[in-house]
C-alpha cells in the first residue's frame, strides 16, 4: 500500500457507500445502515492504521491525481497529509465511527433510516475530502458539500416544521459565511496566483507584505459560518432539531470544527490585525454563549450553546496563540515552534472537545431515547440510578468540559488556550476564565437536574439503560475524554501527532504553571459546586428564573440576535429583495422556500410575452439583430 | 479554359475514400428506403440494420482515429474538404448523436402511426451532412452541407404530420431557417465578390476557399487593410448571423422554444445537441480561419451577443412549465456559456477544447434527459409538462435517476461532469480576462439551478398525483434503453470525477 | 443619348433590391405561400450577386468559375427547400384550413 492509496480508500469508502445506498438502500434501512457503518469502520481502521503504523509524520504533498489537464492548465485532485489534516483525520475517523455505531441503536426504528445513513456517508465523504484537500478550490467544493449534507441531515425529520426551518436557517447562514469565504479565496488566488496550499505558504513567506487584513477577515467569514462564531452563530442551536447523532457528529466532531480546521490549515494568511479581531470574536462568543446556556431547558440546546462557547475558546486560542507565536519574545524562547502555537492550541482543544462533546451529545441522545424523545431537562431527573452507565459517562463528560485539573483532557487543552491568552491580553484571559467558570456551572446544572434528584415526569420514571450499541460508544468516548489529555503518557493519540498536539502547545512553567492550575481548579470546582448547591432542589421551574429573574431574562434573550435577524429578514430584506436583490430573492426565497416567488414569476411572464407564437414577430427579432449589427458596422466605418 | 492536365490533376485530388463514412451513411440511408419499399414486412430487421450499420460506421471511425498518426490537416477535393483531428472527432460525435437519435426515434415512434424507416433515412442524411459540414474547406461545401441538413431538419421537425404543433413548428423553422440561410448566403456572395476583386491587394484566385479568403482578409494594401473594407465587414457579419442562428444565440434564438416544443422529441434532441455542436464547430472554423483577421470587428459583436444570450437564456426558462420549452430556452443559456468559451479561445489556446468537452458533456446529459422525455411523452408530444414528472423516481427509479443526473449535469452541480465542463470554460474565460462576462455567466449558472431544480423536485419529491389520466399506465422500458440510460448516467457521474478519458477524446490532455 | 453600359454596381443594385424585397416580404406578408416565395427571392438575390461578381472579377488567367458553380448548387437547394416548404404548407392547410401566418400561433409562451 502506498500513502495515496490509503487516502483514496478513506475518501472513497463513504462515497461508494453513499452511492450504493442511493441505488439500493433507500427502502432498505438495514442494508443502508450496514453499508454506512461498514464504510465508517473502514475509515476508522484505515486512518488509525495510517496514523499509528504507516505514516512517519513527514508532510506528504504532491499526491495529486490529475483531474483535468488542459495544456498548461491542470486541475488536480490533490491530497496532502500533514499534522493538521492528520489530526482532523484522526478525530473524524474515530468519533465518526463511534457515532455511526450509536446511530444503529438510536435510529433503529426510524422510517427514514436509509436516507439518514446515506446522508451520514455523504457527510463523511465531504468532511474527509475537505480534510485531505491540498488546494483552496477543492476545499471550497467540499466545504459546500459539507454544508449541503448537513442541511440534509438537520432536516431529517422534515415533517416537523421546526426541522425544516432549522435546516433552512443553517443553509442560509452558512451561505452568507461561504460568500465571504469565496471572495476571500478569490482574493487570495488573485494576490498570490495559486490555490495550492503548499505553494501559497511559500508565496506568503516570500512576500508577506501582500497579505491584507481584509483577506483574513473574509476567510474568517466562512469560518464564522461553519464554526458558528458571533454573529453567524444563530443556526447552530436551531440545528438541534436534527436527530441527536447528527448533532453529535456535526457539532462535536466535524462540521463545526471545520471552521477551526480551516484556520489551522491556513494560519499564514492572517495578519496581526485580523488575528486580533478573530481572537476577540472568539472570546466574546465563548463568554456570551456560556451565559445564554443558563436560560435553556432543552438538553440539546444547552449542549449546543456549550459547543458555541468551546468553539469560541478554540478560535480565541488560535488568535492569541498565533499572536503570541508571532511575537519576538516567543520566537526567541521557542524558535520556529512558536509559529505553530495558535494552530496547536486550537487543534488540541478541538481534539479533546471532539471526544467529550461527542460523549455529551451521545449521552444526551441516550437519555432522550430512554425518555421517549423528551428533551426538557425539567421533565427528567434521577436518571443516574436508572441509567448508570449513561449517567457515569455523562458525568465524566461534564468533568472534562468543566476542565477539572488532571482528571480531564479538557483541562490540558483549555489551559493551553488560557495561557496564550494571558500572555497576550490579561483582559481576554479574565473573560475566558469567566467563561470557563460559567461552563462548569451550567454543565453542573445540566447534570444535577437531569441525573440527580427525583424523576419529574412519567417518561423519566420509566427510563432504563439503553442497549450496548448505544452505551459502548459512550464508554469508549469517556475513556478518550479522560486520557486524551495525557498526550505523551497514554498511547491514545498517534505519536505522529505529538508535534502539533503537544510540542506546538505552549506549556507554562514554574510559578505560572501553578497559578494557572489553581485558577482552573478554582473555576471548575466553584462552578460545579455552585451548580450543585443552587440547582440541587430544583423542581419544575428553573431556580434562576425564580430567584433572579432579571438575570434569567438577560440570558434568555440571547442578546436578541435571532430577533434582529428575523426582523431584518421580515421587514427589510423581504421588501428590498423584491425590488433590488435579484440574487437574494432567487436563492433565499426562490430556491429554498417552496413555490415560485413573485420575482421569478415576473420574469417568466416577461419571457412568455416575448414568445408570441407569431412567426412575423420572430422575424422581427432577426431583423432587429441585423439592424444592431449594421449600426455597429456603420459606427465602426464612421469612427 | 483549364487544360486537360489541370483537370486531371483536379480529379486526382478527389480522394473519395476519405469521405467513405459519409458515403456509407448515404448508402445506408438509401438502402433502408429500398428495403422498406420492397420488403415492408421486414421492418424490424431493417430498423435493426440501421442501428447496426451506424454502429459499424462509428466503430470504423473510432478505429481510424485511434490508429491514425497525429499529423497535419489532410486536404482533399482541391481544398473543399479539410480533415483535422478535431473534425475527425466531430464526425464521431455526430455518428454517436445519430445513434442516440435513432434510438429515441424508435422509442418515440413505438406507439405512433408515422413511418419509421423514413425518419431514420432523413436522420442519416442529416448526419452525413453534419459530418461534411465540419470538414468543409470552402463556402461551397459549407453552404451545401448546411442547407442539406437544415432542409432535412425541416422534414424531421414537421414529421408528426397529423399534429398541428409539429407542422407549425416545421413552418416556423422553415421560415426562420430559410431567412437565416438567405442572409448567410448573401454574406457569402459579398465576401466572394470582394475577395475576388482584382483591384484589391492579395486577390484570391478561389475566393470561396477558407484559406484564400483568410489570406485576403488579412492582407493590408496601400489604401488600408482589407479587413476594413465595407463589403468584408458586411459580408462577415451576415455570415455570422447565419451561424448564430444555428447555435441559438440572442437575438437569433427566438424560434428555439416553439420549434423545440412542436418537433417530435427525437428531433428536438438532434436540434439541441447535433445542430448546436455543428454550429459551434463551424463558428470555430470561421473564426480561426477566414475571419481570423477580423477579431477587432467580431470580438465586440460576439461579446455583446454572449452577454445577452447568457442573460436571456437563464431568465427565460423561469416559470416555464413545458419541459421541451425548458430544454430549448436553457439550451440558449448553454449556447451563451459555449460562446464565452469561443471568446476565450481568442486568448487561450485550450479554450476551444474546453468548448468541445462542454459539448460532449452537454450531449451526454441531454440525451439522458431526452430519453426520459421520450418515455414520458403523452400522445400529443408537444404537451410535455413538469407535472407529468411527479413522483417519477418512485414510479420508475431508473428513469428518475437518469433524469436527475442528466439535469444535474446540465445545471452544473458538482461533482457531475457538467460542473467540470462549466469550470473549464470559466477558467478559460478567467485566463482570457473576460471578467465581466464571466460574472454574468456565473450568475446565470446560479439562476439556472433554479429552473432545473423545479423539474428535478417534481421528479424526486412530489408524490404521484392520482388523477386517473396521465402517469398511471406502466412505463415500457426495454433492456437496450436501460443499458443506454445506465451508460449515460454513469459517464456523467464518473466524468465528473475522472475525466481523463473524456478529455483525451477532445484532445485536451 | 448613350446608354450607360450595365456594370457591376447595377447588378449589385438589383441584387440588393431583390434581397430587400425578400426580407420585407417575409417581415410583412402574412400569407405563408408568399413568405416562402420571398425566402426564395433572398436566395435569388445572392444568385445575381454571385454571377455578377463572377463575371466582373474575372481577369486574364483567373476565370472565377466558383461563383457560377455555386449558383447551380443554390438552385438545387432552393428547389429542395420549396418542395419541403410546400409540403408543410399543404399539410397545414389540410389540418387547419388557413395559410395566414398570423393565425398559426398555437405554439407560444
Residue boundaries of the structural domains of chain B: 11-505
Q: Do the chains contact at A615 and C27, CB–CB below 8 Å?
A: no
- Mean predicted confidence (pLDDT) in A77-97: 83
Say which of B301, B318, B498 has its CB closest to residue A604. Answer: B318
Is B186 touching C (CB cutoff 8 A)? yes
> What pLDDT, on a 0 to 100 scale, did the predictor assign at position B127?
96
Residue C23, min C-alpha distance to chain A (Å)? 9
B322 has a pLDDT exceeding 70: yes
Distance of CA B441 to the CA centre of its chain: 21
> What pLDDT, on a 0 to 100 scale, did the predictor assign at position A585?
44
Residues of C in contact with A608 (CB under 8 A): 108-109
φ/ψ of A296, rounded to 5, equals -95, 140
More confident residue, B442 or A531: B442
- Mean predicted confidence (pLDDT) in A105-124: 81
- Lowest-pLDDT range, A207-221, A541-555, B11-25, B332-346? A541-555
Q: Tell me the per-residue pLDDT of B8-22, one tens digit each, with 9 for 90 and over.
A: 877 777 788 889 999
- Mean predicted confidence (pLDDT) in C83-97: 92
**CA–CA dist A480, A489 (Å, integer):** 13
- Mean predicted confidence (pLDDT) in B460-472: 57
Q: Do the chains contact at A591 and B453, CB–CB below 8 Å?
A: yes
Print the SS3 string covering A22-81: HHHHCCCHHHHHHHHHHHHHHHHHHHHHHHHHHCCCCCECCCCEEEEEECCEEEEECECE
The grid coordinates of residue B482 equal: 436501460
DSSP code at position B74: E
> What pLDDT, on a 0 to 100 scale, did the predictor assign at position B242?
94
A576 has a pLDDT exceeding 60: no
> What pLDDT, on a 0 to 100 scale, did the predictor assign at position A637?
55
**CA–CA dist A222, A543 (Å, integer):** 38
Mean pLDDT, chain B, as a whole number? 89
CB A264 within 8 A of CB A339: no
More confident residue, A246 or B47: B47
> What pLDDT, on a 0 to 100 scale, did the predictor assign at position A589?
46
Q: CA neighbours within 13 Å on the CB side: how many for A419?
A: 28
B209 has a pLDDT exceeding 70: yes
φ/ψ of A26, rounded to 5, equals -70, -30
> What pLDDT, on a 0 to 100 scale, did the predictor assign at position A135?
80
Residue with cell 442528466: B406
Strongest mean pLDDT among B117-126, B414-423, B486-495: B117-126
CB B405 within 8 A of CB B492: yes
Closest B-chain CA to C91: B161
More confident residue, A454 or C51: C51
Q: CA neighbours within 13 Å on the CB side: how many for A612?
A: 11
A583 confidence band (pLDDT: 50, 70, 90): very low
A369 has a pLDDT exceeding 70: yes
Is A618 touching B (CB cutoff 8 A)? yes
Residue A21: which of A107, A104, A122 has the closest Cα? A122
Residue A583: which of A571, A593, A591, A572 has the closest Cα? A591
A57 has a pLDDT exceeding 50: yes
More confident residue, B102 or A564: B102
Residue with cell 479554359: B1
**CA–CA dist B166, B158 (Å, integer):** 5
**CA–CA dist A626, A634 (Å, integer):** 12
Is B230 touching C (CB cutoff 8 A)? no
Residue C25, min C-alpha distance to chain A (Å)? 10
A588 has a pLDDT exceeding 50: no
Q: Do the chains contact at A70 and B431, CB–CB below 8 Å?
A: no
Q: Looking at this predicted complex, what is its ipTM?
A: 0.95
A206 has a pLDDT exceeding 70: yes
Sequential DSSP letters for A399-417: HHHHT-TTT-HHHHHHHHH
> What pLDDT, on a 0 to 100 scale, did the predictor assign at position A557?
65
> What pLDDT, on a 0 to 100 scale, did the predictor assign at position A158?
64
> What pLDDT, on a 0 to 100 scale, did the predictor assign at position B189?
95
Q: Do the chains contact at C57 and B205, CB–CB below 8 Å?
A: no
Q: Do the chains contact at A611 and B446, CB–CB below 8 Å?
A: no
CB B349 within 8 A of CB B342: no
Is B254 touching C (CB cutoff 8 A)? no
What are the domain boundaries of chain C? 8-96
Is A70 touching B (CB cutoff 8 A)? yes
B111 has a pLDDT exceeding 70: yes
- Lowest-pLDDT range, A267-276, A356-365, A538-547, B29-38? A538-547
B328 has a pLDDT exceeding 90: yes
B463 has a pLDDT exceeding 90: no
Angle at B222 between CA B217 and CA B223, to 5 degrees: 75
**CA–CA dist A566, A570 (Å, integer):** 6
Give the DSSP H or E segment for A67: strand A65-70
Residues of C in contact with A609 (CB under 8 A): 109
CB B275 within 8 A of CB B126: no
Residue of B252, B298, B318 best to disrupt the A interface, most CBs of A under 10 A: B318
A430 has a pLDDT exceeding 60: yes
Chains with 3 or more CB pairs closer than 8 angstroms to C?
A, B
Residue C29: C-alpha distances to residues A103, B419, C22, C98 (Å): 73, 46, 10, 14
Residues of C in contact with A619 (CB under 8 A): 26-27
Q: How many CB pairs under 8 A join A and C?
A: 29
CB B273 within 8 A of CB B331: no
- Mean predicted confidence (pLDDT) in B279-287: 95
Residues 551-610 of A with CB under 8 A from C: 608-609
More confident residue, A500 or A530: A530
Residue A113, min C-alpha distance to chain C (Å)? 44
Say which of C26, C35, C102 has its CB closest to residue A614. Answer: C102
Residue of A614, A618, A620 best to disrupt the C interface, most CBs of C under 10 A: A614
φ/ψ of B245, rounded to 5, equals -60, -45
**CA–CA dist A633, B235 (Å, integer):** 11
> What pLDDT, on a 0 to 100 scale, did the predictor assign at position A416?
83
More confident residue, A374 or B279: B279
Residue with cell 439503553: A466
Residue of C28, C31, C32, C105 best to disrupt the A interface, most CBs of A under 10 A: C105
The per-residue b/e assignment along A141-153, b for 16 or more CB within 10 angstroms, e otherwise, is bbbbbbbbbbbbb
Angle between helices B323-344 and B351-376 (to 10 degrees): 170
Say which of C28, C35, C107 has its CB closest to residue A613. Answer: C107
A399 confidence band (pLDDT: 50, 70, 90): confident
Q: Any idea which architecture C8-96 has in CATH? A: Orthogonal Bundle (1.10)
Amino acid at each position: 500500500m502506498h500513502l495515496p492509496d490509503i487516502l483514496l480508500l478513506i475518501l472513497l469508502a463513504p462515497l461508494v457507500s453513499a452511492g450504493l445506498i442511493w441505488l439500493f438502500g433507500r427502502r432498505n434501512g438495514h442494508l443502508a445502515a450496514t453499508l454506512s457503518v461498514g464504510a465508517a469502520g473502514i475509515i476508522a481502521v484505515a486512518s488509525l492504521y495510517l496514523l499509528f503504523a504507516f505514516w512517519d509524520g513527514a508532510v506528504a504533498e504532491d499526491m495529486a491525481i490529475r483531474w483535468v489537464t488542459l495544456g498548461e492548465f491542470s486541475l488536480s485532485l490533490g491530497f496532502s497529509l500533514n499534522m493538521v489534516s492528520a489530526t482532523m483525520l484522526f478525530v473524524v475517523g474515530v468519533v465518526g465511527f463511534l457515532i455511526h455505531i450509536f446511530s444503529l441503536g438510536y435510529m433503529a426504528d426510524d422510517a427514514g433510516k436509509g436516507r439518514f445513513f446515506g446522508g451520514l456517508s455523504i457527510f463523511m465523504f465531504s468532511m474527509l475530502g475537505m480534510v485531505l484537500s491540498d488546494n483552496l478550490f477543492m476545499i471550497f467544493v467540499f466545504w459546500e458539500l459539507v454544508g449541503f449534507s448537513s442541511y440534509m441531515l438537520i432536516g431529517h425529520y422534515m415533517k416537523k416544521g421546526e426541522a425544516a426551518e432549522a435546516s433552512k436557517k443553517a443553509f442560509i447562514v452558512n451561505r452568507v459565511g461561504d460568500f465571504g469565504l469565496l471572495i476571500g479565496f478569490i482574493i487570495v488566488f488573485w494576490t498570490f496566483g495559486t490555490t495550492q496550499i503548499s505553494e501559497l505558504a511559500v508565496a506568503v513567506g516570500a512576500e508577506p507584505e501582500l497579505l491584507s487584513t481584509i483577506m483574513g477577515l473574509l476567510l474568517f467569514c466562512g469560518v464564522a459560518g461553519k464554526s458558528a462564531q458571533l454573529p453567524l452563530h444563530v443556526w447552530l442551536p436551531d440545528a438541534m432539531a436534527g436527530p441527536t447523532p447528527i448533532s453529535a457528529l456535526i457539532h462535536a466532531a466535524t462540521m463545526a470544527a471545520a471552521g477551526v480546521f480551516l484556520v489551522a490549515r491556513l494560519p499564514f494568511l492572517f495578519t496581526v490585525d485580523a488575528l486580533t479581531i478573530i481572537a476577540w470574536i472568539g472570546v466574546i462568543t465563548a463568554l456570551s454563549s456560556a451565559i445564554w446556556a443558563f436560560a435553556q431547558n432543552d438538553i440539546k440546546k444547552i449542549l449546543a450553546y456549550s459547543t458555541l462557547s468551546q468553539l469560541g475558546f478554540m478560535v480565541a486560542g488560535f488568535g492569541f496563540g498565533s499572536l503570541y507565536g508571532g511575537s519576538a519574545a516567543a520566537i526567541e524562547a521557542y524558535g520556529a515552534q512558536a509559529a505553530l502555537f495558535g494552530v496547536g492550541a486550537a487543534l488540541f482543544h478541538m481534539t479533546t472537545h471532539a471526544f467529550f462533546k461527542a460523549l455529551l451529545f451521545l449521552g444526551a441522545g441516550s437519555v432522550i431515547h430512554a425518555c421517549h424523545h423528551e428533551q426538557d431537562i425539567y421533565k427528567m431527573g434521577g436518571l443516574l440510578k436508572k441509567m448508570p452507565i449513561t449517567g457515569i459517562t455523562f458525568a465524566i463528560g461534564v468533568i472534562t468540559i468543566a476542565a477539572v485539573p488532571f482528571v480531564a483532557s479538557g483541562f490540558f487543552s483549555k489551559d493551553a488556550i488560557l495561557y496564550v491568552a494571558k500572555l497576550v491580553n490579561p483582559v481576554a484571559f479574565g473573560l475566558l476564565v469567566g467563561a470557563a467558570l460559567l461552563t462548569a456551572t451550567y454543565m453542573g446544572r445540566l447534570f444535577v437536574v437531569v441525573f440527580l434528584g427525583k424523576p419529574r415526569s412519567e417518561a423519566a420514571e420509566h427510563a432504563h439503560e439503553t442497549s450496548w450499541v448505544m452505551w459502548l460508544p459512550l464508554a469508549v468516548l469517556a475513556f478518550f475524554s479522560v486520557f486524551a489529555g495525557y498526550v505523551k503518557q497514554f498511547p491514545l493519540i498517534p505519536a505522529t501527532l505529538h508535534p502539533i498536539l503537544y510540542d506546538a502547545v505552549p506549556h507554562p512553567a514554574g510559578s505560572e504553571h501553578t497559578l494557572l492550575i489553581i485558577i482552573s481548579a478554582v473555576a471548575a470546582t466553584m462552578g460545579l459546586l455552585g451548580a450543585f448547591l443552587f440547582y440541587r432542589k430544583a423542581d419544575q421551574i428553573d431556580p434562576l428564573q425564580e430567584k433572579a429573574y432579571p438575570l434569567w431574562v438577560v440570558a434568555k434573550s440571547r442578546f436578541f440576535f435571532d430577533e434582529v435577524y428575523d426582523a431584518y429578514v421580515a421587514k427589510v430584506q423581504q421588501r428590498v429583495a423584491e425590488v433590488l436583490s435579484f440574487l437574494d430573492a432567487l436563492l433565499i426565497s426562490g430556491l429554498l422556500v417552496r413555490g415560485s416567488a413573485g420575482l421569478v414569476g415576473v420574469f417568466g411572464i416577461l419571457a412568455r410575452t416575448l414568445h408570441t407564437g407569431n412567426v412575423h414577430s420572430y422575424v422581427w427579432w432577426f431583423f432587429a439583430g441585423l439592424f444592431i449589427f449594421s449600426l455597429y458596422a456603420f459606427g465602426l466605418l464612421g469612427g | 479554359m483549364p487544360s486537360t492536365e489541370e483537370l486531371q490533376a483536379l480529379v486526382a485530388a478527389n480522394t473519395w475514400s476519405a469521405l467513405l463514412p459519409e458515403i456509407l451513411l448515404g448508402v445506408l440511408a438509401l438502402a433502408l428506403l429500398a428495403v422498406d419499399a420492397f420488403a415492408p414486412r421486414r421492418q424490424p430487421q431493417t430498423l435493426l440494420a440501421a442501428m447496426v450499420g451506424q454502429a459499424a460506421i462509428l466503430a470504423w471511425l473510432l478505429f481510424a482515429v485511434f490508429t491514425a498518426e497525429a499529423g497535419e490537416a489532410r486536404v482533399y477535393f482541391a481544398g473543399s474538404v479539410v480533415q483535422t483531428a478535431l473534425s475527425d472527432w466531430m464526425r464521431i460525435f455526430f455518428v454517436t448523436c445519430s445513434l442516440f437519435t435513432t434510438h429515441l426515434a424508435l422509442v418515440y415512434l413505438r406507439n405512433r402511426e408515422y413511418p419509421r424507416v423514413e425518419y431514420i433515412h432523413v436522420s442519416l442524411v442529416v448526419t452525413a451532412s453534419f459530418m461534411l459540414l465540419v470538414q468543409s474547406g470552402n463556402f461551397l461545401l459549407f453552404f451545401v452541407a448546411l442547407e442539406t441538413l437544415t432542409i432535412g431538419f425541416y422534414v424531421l421537425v414537421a414529421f408528426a404530420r397529423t399534429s398541428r404543433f409539429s407542422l407549425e413548428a416545421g413552418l416556423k423553422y422553415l421560415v426562420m431557417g430559410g431567412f437565416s440561410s438567405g442572409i448567410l448566403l448573401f454574406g457569402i456572395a459579398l465576401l466572394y465578390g470582394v475577395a475576388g476583386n482584382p483591384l484589391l491587394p492579395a486577390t484570391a484566385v478561389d475566393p470561396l476557399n477558407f484559406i484564400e479568403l483568410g489570406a485576403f482578409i488579412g492582407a493590408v494594401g496601400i489604401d488600408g487593410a482589407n479587413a476594413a473594407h465595407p463589403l468584408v465587414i458586411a459580408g462577415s457579419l451576415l455570415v455570422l448571423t447565419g451561424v448564430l442562428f444555428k447555435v441559438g444565440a440572442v437575438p437569433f434564438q427566438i424560434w428555439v422554444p416553439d420549434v423545440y416544443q412542436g418537433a417530435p422529441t427525437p428531433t428536438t434532441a438532434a436540434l439541441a445537441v447535433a445542430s448546436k455542436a455543428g454550429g459551434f464547430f463551424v463558428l470555430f472554423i470561421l473564426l480561426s480561419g477566414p475571419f481570423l483577421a477580423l477579431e477587432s470587428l467580431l470580438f465586440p459583436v460576439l461579446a455583446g451577443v454572449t452577454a445577452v444570450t447568457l442573460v436571456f437564456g437563464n431568465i427565460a426558462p423561469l416559470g416555464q412549465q413545458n419541459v421541451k420549452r425548458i430544454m430549448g430556452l436553457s439550451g440558449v443559456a448553454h449556447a451563451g456559456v459555449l460562446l464565452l468559451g469561443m471568446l476565450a479561445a481568442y486568448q487561450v489556446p485550450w479554450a476551444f477544447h474546453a468548448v468541445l468537452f462542454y459539448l460532449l458533456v452537454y450531449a451526454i446529459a441531454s440525451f439522458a434527459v431526452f430519453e426520459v422525455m421520450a418515455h414520458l411523452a403523452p400522445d400529443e408530444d408537444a404537451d410535455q409538462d413538469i407535472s407529468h414528472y411527479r413522483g417519477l423516481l418512485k414510479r420508475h427509479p431508473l428513469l428518475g435517476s437518469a433524469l436527475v443526473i442528466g439535469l444535474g449535469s446540465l445545471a452544473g452541480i458538482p461533482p457531475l461532469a457538467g460542473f467540470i465542463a462549466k469550470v473549464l470554460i470559466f477558467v478559460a474565460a478567467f485566463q482570457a480576462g473576460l471578467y465581466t462576462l464571466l460574472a454574468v455567466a456565473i450568475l446565470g449558472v446560479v439562476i439556472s439551478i433554479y429552473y432545473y431544480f423545479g423539474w428535478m423536485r417534481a421528479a424526486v419529491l412530489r408524490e404521484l398525483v392520482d388523477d386517473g389520466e396521465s402517469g398511471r399506465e406502466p412505463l415500457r422500458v426495454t433492456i437496450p434503453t436501460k443499458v443506454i440510460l445506465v451508460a449515460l448516467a454513469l459517464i456523467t457521474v464518473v466524468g465528473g470525477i475522472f475525466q481523463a478519458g473524456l478529455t483525451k477524446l477532445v484532445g485536451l490532455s | 443619348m448613350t446608354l450607360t453600359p450595365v456594370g457591376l454596381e447595377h447588378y449589385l443594385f438589383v441584387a440588393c433590391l431583390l434581397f430587400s424585397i425578400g426580407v420585407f416580404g417575409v417581415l410583412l406578408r402574412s400569407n405563408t405561400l408568399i413568405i416562402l416565395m420571398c425566402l426564395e427571392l433572398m436566395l435569388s438575390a445572392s444568385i445575381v450577386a454571385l454571377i455578377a461578381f463572377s463575371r466582373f472579377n474575372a481577369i486574364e488567367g483567373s476565370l472565377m468559375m466558383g461563383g457560377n458553380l455555386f449558383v447551380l448548387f443554390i438552385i438545387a437547394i432552393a428547389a429542395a427547400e420549396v418542395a419541403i416548404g410546400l409540403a408543410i404548407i399543404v399539410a397545414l392547410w389540410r389540418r387547419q384550413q388557413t395559410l395566414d401566418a398570423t393565425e398559426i400561433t398555437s405554439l407560444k409562451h
